[in-house]
Amino acid sequence: MRDCQRKISQLAHWIKEAQQALALTGAGVSTESDIPDFRSPGGGLWEIYDPARVASVSGFLKDPEGFYKFWAARFASIERAQPNVTHQLLAELEAHGLLHGVITQNIDGLHHRAGSKRVFEVHGSCRRGICHECRQTYPIEKVFERLQTGAVPRCEGCGGLVKPDVVLFGELLPEDFALAAQAVTKADLLIALGSSLEVHPVANLIPRAKSSEARVVIVNREETPFDRIADLVIHAELGPCMRELRASLAKSLSTARYI
Ligand code: NAD
C-alpha cells in the first residue's frame, strides 16, 4: 500500500511537471461504471461471446441479426452507465491545463460525458451508426428505432447495411488514430489507464511515446506487455488509485495553470 502511495505521488509530480501530458484509456476505466471489459478473467466479454461473430466485419455481414442482438444489449448498458472517478479526474486535469487530451479505445462516450473536451476516439463511438457501403452516418437513436421494428438498419441513400460506428476486427482505424499518434510524438508524459495493451496498433503508442522521450506510466490491475519499458507501473484498482491521485493533486486542481 505504501509503495502504491509513493508511486501515485511520483505520478502526481510528473503530471505537474509535464507540458504535454496525454492519457491513453482502455475498457478498464469503464468497468467501475458497470461496462464489462473484454479480457478480464471472470467477467470479460470474450469469455462469453465469440469476437469473430460479434466484433468482426465478416461476422456482421454474415449474420447482422445475431450481431445486433449483442450490440443492442451492449448499448443499453452503455446508455445506463455514468462516468466514474477516472473519467471525472481526467476531465478535471484537462480543465486545469494539466492534461492535453485523452486517447481512448473505448466507444462508450463516457469521457465526453464527464466533460473531457479533447478526446481521440481511436476505435470509434457508439453514438453513431454508419453505412458499411457509402459511409453515411446516422444518430444511433435512428439505428435503434429501426431495430425495434425487427429489421436490420439499412442506409436511406444506398440501401447498404448500417453498423455501429465502432472499429470492428478487419476494419481500418479512423482519422482520430492518426491525430492521436501525432499528438503522442509531442507528448512528454503518456499515462495508460485500464488497458491490457494487447490491441494493436493502439498499443504501439506506448513504444512510440518512449522513442519520443516521453515518460510512460501504466496503471492497470494486471501486468501488460509494456510494463518492462514503462517508467512507472502501478498495479492497482483504478477507483482508489484515482482518488489518491486526486488528493495528491488537490492544490494544483484548485488553481488553473493557464487559462
Ligand atoms: P481489455 O479488456 O483488453 O483490457 C482491460 C484491462 O483493464 C485489463 O487488463 C483489466 O485487468 C484492466 N481493468 C479492468 N478493470 C479495472 C479496474 N477497475 N482497475 C484497474 N484495471 C482494470 O481492454 P482494452 O485494452 O481497452 O482493449 C480492448 C478493446 O476493448 C478496445 O478496442 C475497446 O474498443 C474495447 N472495449 C471497449 C469498452 C468500452 O467502451 N467501455 C468495453 C469493452 C471493450
pLDDT digits (tens, 9 = 90+) for 202-255: 999 999 999 999 999 999 999 999 999 999 999 999 999 999 999 999 877 886
The total domain count for the chain is: 2
Sequence-separated (6 or more) residues with CB below 8 Å from residue 208: 181, 184, 185
Quick one: 203 and 152 in the same domain?
A: no
Three-class secondary structure of residue 258 per DSSP: coil
Cα(83) to ligand 1 centroid in Å equals 15
13-58 pLDDT, tens digit each? 999 999 999 999 999 999 999 998 877 677 667 677 787 788 899 9
Point out which residues pair with 23 in neighbouring strands.
Answer: 102, 191
Cα(38) to ligand 1 centroid in Å equals 6
- CATH code where residue 255 lies: 3.40.50.1220
Strand 137-139 to 124-131 pairing: antiparallel
Closest listed residue to residue 195, CA positions, set 153, 158, 157, 230:
230
Quick one: 93 and 202 in the same domain?
A: yes
Quick one: 196 and 232 in the same domain?
A: yes
Closest listed residue to residue 87, CA positions, set 115, 106, 107:
115
Report which protein residue has its CA nearest ligand 1's atom 43. 37
| Phi, psi (rounded to 5 degrees) for 176 | -55, -30
Point out which residues pair with 103 in neighbouring strands.
Answer: 24, 120
Point out which residues pair with 219 in neighbouring strands.
Answer: 193, 234
Quick one: 51 and 162 in the same domain?
A: yes
- CATH code where residue 148 lies: 3.30.1600.10
**Probe residue for ligand 1, chosen from 29, 30, 33, 38 as the CB with the greatest number of ligand atoms within 8 Å:** 38
Point out which residues pair with 164 in neighbouring strands.
Answer: 129
Quick one: 162 and 181 in the same domain?
A: no
* Catalytic positions: 123
Cα(76) to ligand 1 centroid in Å equals 18
Point out which residues pair with 160 in neighbouring strands.
Answer: none
In eight-state DSSP terms, residue 117 is S
> For residues 90 and 83, is the Cβ–Cβ distance under 8 A?
no
Report which protein residue has its CA nearest ligand 1's atom 9. 196
- In this prediction, residue 256 carries a pLDDT of 53
Quick one: 70 and 104 in the same domain?
A: no
**Rounded mean pLDDT of 148-160?**
93
Point out which residues pair with 216 in neighbouring strands.
Answer: 190
Cα(114) to ligand 1 centroid in Å equals 18
Q: How far apart are CA 4 and CA 244, in angstroms?
A: 10
By residue range, what is the domain housing residue 185? 1-35+83-123+173-259
Quick one: 21 and 42 in the same domain?
A: no
> For residues 212 and 185, is the Cβ–Cβ distance under 8 A?
yes
State CA 52 to chain mean position distance: 21
Ligand 1 site, CB within 6 A:
26-28, 30-32, 35, 37-40, 44, 105-108, 123, 194-196, 198-199, 220-222, 237-238
Three-class secondary structure of residue 40 per DSSP: coil
Quick one: 75 and 98 in the same domain?
A: no
Quick one: 242 and 179 in the same domain?
A: yes
Q: How far apart are CA 17 and CA 179, in angstroms?
A: 24
Q: How far apart are CA 184 and CA 152, in angstroms?
A: 39
Last residue of a domain, one of 166, 197, 228: 166
| Atom number in ligand 1 closest to CA 166 | 34
Quick one: 160 and 60 in the same domain?
A: yes
Closest listed residue to residue 86, CA positions, set 174, 26, 171, 156:
26
Ranges of H-type helices in the chain:
2-17, 51-54, 57-62, 64-80, 85-95, 110-114, 140-148, 175-186, 205-211, 238-248, 250-253
In eight-state DSSP terms, residue 154 is B
Last residue of a domain, one of 115, 146, 166: 166
Confidence bin at 258 (pLDDT 50/70/90): very low
Quick one: 108 and 207 in the same domain?
A: yes
Quick one: 74 and 92 in the same domain?
A: no
**Probe residue for ligand 1, chosen from 8, 37, 108 as the CB with the greatest number of ligand atoms within 8 Å:** 37
**Rounded mean pLDDT of 96-115?**
97
